[in-house]
C-alpha cells in the first residue's frame, strides 16, 4: 500500500489524515488565554450560540435570527466604524461596492439570514451558520455546495480589536461582501469542490494555502495601487496598515506554484503576501490548478 507522505503545516509535521478525515468538535472549547475565559456570562452566551448554530448547521436550517445583546451591539459599534474608515481607503472597489449594496451598517449588527438571501440572489452562494471554526474539509464540504459557513458570535468586549478565533465581525465584514462577485464566488466554489473531492492530503494542503493567500490574506492591484480583498486583513484594524505599509512584509505577485508551497503561521501578523491582478485572473488560476491536479470536478 502506498504510504501517505508526512506533511508540514504551520511549521510542524502533522498527521496527513487530518486533512481528509476532519475531527468534529461537538462542544464549545475556548483556547487557553482566550479573553472571555473568566467571564461566566460570556461563556454561557457562547455556549448557547454554539448549540443553536450547530443545530441550524446540521439540520440545514440557514442562519438563525439572533437577538443581539446591548454589549454585543456596543462591540460592533466600537469596531465596525474603525474598520469602515480603513476600508474606504484601502479595500478594493469590488468589496466596497458590495458592502454598500448589502447595506452593512456600522450601527446595527446585520442578520446573516438577510445577508444570505441577498447574496444568493446575486451569485447563488448562501450563508451557512457555523458554531465556530470548522475543520478545513468540513468547511469546504459546504462551500462545494455553494454555502459559506459564518459564525454568529462576537468577540469578547475586553479586547474589541482582537479575536483569537474568526468571529462574526471577521466573517461579516471580511468574507461576506466579496461573495457578491461572480468570479470570486466561482473561485470559492471550485476550491470547495476540489478540496472535498480529492483523497490526496497534499492536494488539500495546496488548496488550503491557495485559499489562505487569496480569500483570507489576498491583495489586489487596482488602478496601479495595491488594495486589500482578503478577509483576514479586512477584519483587522492592525492587519490592514501592516499588510500595505510594513517594511517587514514581503509582497509578491501571486504565482500559484509558489503560493501552494508556502507555509504560514495563522497565529501572527502575516509577513508574506501575494498580489493578484483580478478575480477573473484568480479564477483562471484555480481552474488551471484543479485541472493539473486531475480532480474531476469541472
Residues that bind Fe ion (CB under 5 A): 166, 231
* Phi-psi map region of 146: left, alpha, beta (phi>0 left; psi -120 to 50 alpha): left
Question: 276 or 293: whose CB is closer to Fe ion?
Answer: 276
Among candidate residues 34, 90, 126, 175, the one labeled active-site is: 175
Question: 63 or 166: whose CB is closer to Fe ion?
Answer: 166
Question: 132 or 166: whose CB is closer to Fe ion?
Answer: 166
170 is catalytic: yes
Shortest separation between residue 28's beta carbon and Fe ion, angstroms: 19
Output the residue with the shortest Cβ distance to Fe ion: 231
Shortest separation between residue 230's beta carbon and Fe ion, angstroms: 8
Give, to the nearest 10 degrees, the angle between helix 182-197 and helix 279-293. 20
Question: 4 or 262: whose CB is closer to Fe ion?
Answer: 262
56 is catalytic: no
Shortest separation between residue 223's beta carbon and Fe ion, angstroms: 26
Among candidate residues 235, 236, 239, 285, the one labeled active-site is: 235
Among candidate residues 9, 72, 131, 216, the one labeled active-site is: 216
DSSP 285: H
Centre a 10 Å sphere on the Cβ of residue 13 and count the other Cβ atoms it contains.
Answer: 9
Give, to the nearest 10 degrees, the angle between helix 93-102 and helix 70-90. 140
Shortest separation between residue 125's beta carbon and Fe ion, angstroms: 15
186 is catalytic: no
- The phi, psi pair for 63, rounded to 5°, reads -65, 130
Among candidate residues 56, 87, 90, 170, the one labeled active-site is: 170
Per-residue b/e over 80-113, b at no fewer than 16 CB within 10 Å?
beebbebbeebbbebbbebbeebebeeeebbbbb
Shortest separation between residue 253's beta carbon and Fe ion, angstroms: 23
Question: 112 or 231: whose CB is closer to Fe ion?
Answer: 231
71 is catalytic: no
Alpha helices in the chain (DSSP H): 17-20, 40-58, 70-90, 93-102, 112-123, 136-143, 168-170, 182-197, 201-211, 231-234, 239-245, 256-259, 279-293
- Which sequence positions are flagged as catalytic? 170, 175, 216, 235
Amino acid at each position: 500500500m502506498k504510504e501517505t507522505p508526512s506533511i508540514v503545516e504551520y511549521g510542524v509535521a502533522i498527521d496527513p489524515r487530518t486533512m481528509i478525515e476532519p475531527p468534529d468538535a461537538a462542544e464549545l472549547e475556548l483556547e487557553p488565554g482566550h479573553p472571555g475565559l473568566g467571564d461566566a456570562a460570556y461563556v454561557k452566551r457562547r455556549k448557547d450560540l454554539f448549540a443553536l448554530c450547530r443545530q441550524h448547521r446540521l439540520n440545514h436550517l440557514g442562519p438563525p435570527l439572533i437577538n443581539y445583546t446591548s454589549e454585543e451591539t456596543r462591540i460592533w459599534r466600537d469596531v465596525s466604524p474603525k474598520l469602515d474608515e480603513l476600508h474606504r481607503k484601502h479595500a478594493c472597489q469590488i468589496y466596497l461596492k458590495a458592502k454598500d449594496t448589502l447595506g452593512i451598517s456600522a450601527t446595527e449588527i446585520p442578520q446573516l439570514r438577510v445577508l444570505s438571501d441577498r447574496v444568493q440572489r446575486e451569485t447563488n452562494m448562501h450563508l451557512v451558520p457555523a458554531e465556530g471554526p470548522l475543520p478545513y474539509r468540513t468547511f469546504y464540504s459546504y462551500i462545494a455546495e455553494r454555502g459559506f459557513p459564518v459564525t454568529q458570535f462576537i468577540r469578547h468586549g475586553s479586547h474589541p480589536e482582537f479575536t483569537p478565533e474568526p468571529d462574526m465581525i471577521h466573517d461579516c465584514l471580511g468574507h461576506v461582501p466579496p461573495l457578491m462577485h461572480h468570479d470570486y464566488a466561482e473561485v470559492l466554489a471550485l476550491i470547495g469542490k476540489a478540496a472535498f473531492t480529492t483523497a490526496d492530503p497534499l492536494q488539500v494542503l495546496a488548496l488550503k494555502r491557495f485559499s489562505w493567500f487569496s480569500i483570507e490574506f489576498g491583495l489586489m492591484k487596482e488602478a496601479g495601487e495595491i488594495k486589500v480583498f482578503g478577509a483576514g486583513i479586512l477584519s483587522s484594524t492592525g492587519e490592514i496598515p501592516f499588510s500595505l505599509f510594513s517594511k517587514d512584509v514581503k509582497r509578491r505577485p501571486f504565482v500559484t506554484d509558489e503560493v501552494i508551497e508556502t507555509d504560514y503561521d495563522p497565529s501572527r501578523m502575516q509577513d508574506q503576501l501575494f498580489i493578484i491582478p483580478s478575480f477573473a485572473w484568480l479564477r483562471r488560476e484555480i481552474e488551471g490548478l484543479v485541472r493539473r491536479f486531475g480532480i474531476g470536478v469541472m
